[in-house]
Amino acid sequence: MEAPYTPEEYNKDLDNINWVSGLPFILLHLGCLLVFLVGFSWTAVFALVFTYVIRMFGITAGFHRYFSHRSFKTSRPFQFLLAWLGTASAQKGPLWWAAHHRHHHKHADTEKDVHSPVKRSFWWSHVGWILSDRFKDTNFKMVKDLKKYPELKYLNKYHLIPPIQLAVGTFVAGTLLNAYFPSLGTSGFQLLVYGFIISTVLLYHGTFTVNSLAHVFGERRFETNDDSRNNWFISLITLGEGWHNNHHRFPSSERQGFYWWEFDISHYALKILSWFRLVWDLRVPPKRVYAENKVFKRPPDVIEHPQGR
């Protein structure tokens, strides 16, 4: 089924929250309260940070920079790994995510935008659009280049499998650590709560701030046809996704921090991976883009990629 986009074409009731399909989302938030039952350990905190960072990388480098914008190249096995990591974040599948994001760029901050805080509201852009029935389906016309891979279509269809695998994995890991390394002070349930439940909820809202806040708060370095902003705090919690005005000016760039002082952890990680040939052809902004900068005219010391022109 192809997902509808134009608001005038269908019933406004589809904007309403589907509390049945949204139940897992709600239960995960309530599950965070279990932290008061399972107690505290530094091992659990490490698990929380690790599963947050590695899955955020799956979203930023995988779902966003690779699947949505094709800003670098990689092998088919590593492509699948990025897809699995992103899907393990419990934000649906790679084709669904990329299709909606490509549509967002095509209609950014217009009536057709799927999650514009300018045209709708903070609530809608942050989480309402995801919990509604309006955008529950994948528009495969937007991802013709991706739907040819059966493994990606499989992950997209069975997108609950990776999160469940991660949840089981954290429980098993905690159980084994409790049995063989009791001095670490953790358990299966504790690692499940910290390493999956709390980590996933933080991932939700970290990712969602790009949609809800990065089009409202921050600096506009480039004149774009939307209200995208550069926001350092959002970059901090999303591994570099907060340089959103940069991104909307040149979406096909692998790096979103255009200058050395714009920290972009996803870019740093991809750069390291490129040294080992796990990824390659990382696209960068051309010099003409830097010339449009309202403040800084000099491009950074980078080699311009021929595809970035």
Structural domain range at position 156: 7-212
For 43-86, the pLDDT digits (tens) are: 999 999 999 999 999 999 999 999 999 999 999 999 999 999 99
Instruction: Report how far residue 279's alpha carbon sits from residue 276's, in angstroms, rounded to the nearest whole number.
Output: 8
For 145-202, the pLDDT digits (tens) are: 999 999 999 999 999 999 999 999 999 999 999 999 999 999 999 999 999 999 999 9
> Quick one: which of 88, 84, 86, 90 has its CA closest to 64?
86
Task: Classify residue 259: in a domain, yes or no.
Answer: no
8 A C-beta contact, residue 97 and residue 61:
no
> Quick one: which of 163, 87, 97 has its CA closest to 135?
97
Q: What is the mean pLDDT of the chain?
A: 92
Over residues 225-237, the mean pLDDT reads 96
Task: Classify residue 305: in a domain, yes or no.
Answer: no
pLDDT of residue 268 exceeding 70, the answer is yes
pTM of the model: 0.91
Q: Which of 52-56, 130-134, 257-261 has the lowest mean pLDDT?
A: 130-134
If one counts the domains in the chain, the total is 1
Task: Classify residue 294: in a domain, yes or no.
Answer: no
Instruction: Report how far residue 25's alpha carbon sits from residue 31's, in angstroms, rounded to the nearest whole number.
Output: 10
**End-to-end Cα spacing for the chain:** 36
pLDDT at position 11: 52
Task: Classify residue 272: in a domain, yes or no.
Answer: no
Over residues 241-257, the mean pLDDT reads 97
> Quick one: which of 70, 37, 58, 47 has its CA closest to 206?
58
Instruction: Report how far residue 302's alpha carbon sits from residue 135's, in angstroms, rounded to the nearest whole number.
Output: 39
For 276-307, the pLDDT digits (tens) are: 999 999 999 998 998 888 765 444 444 343 33
Task: Classify residue 309: in a domain, yes or no.
Answer: no
The residue with tokens 């890991």 is 173
Read off the DSSP letter of residue 219. Answer: B
Confidence of residue 13 (pLDDT cuts 50, 70, 90): low
Task: Classify residue 238: in a domain, yes or no.
Answer: no
Task: Classify residue 262: in a domain, yes or no.
Answer: no
Q: CA 194 → CA 37, 43, 144, 203, 228, distances in Å?
A: 12, 9, 37, 12, 33
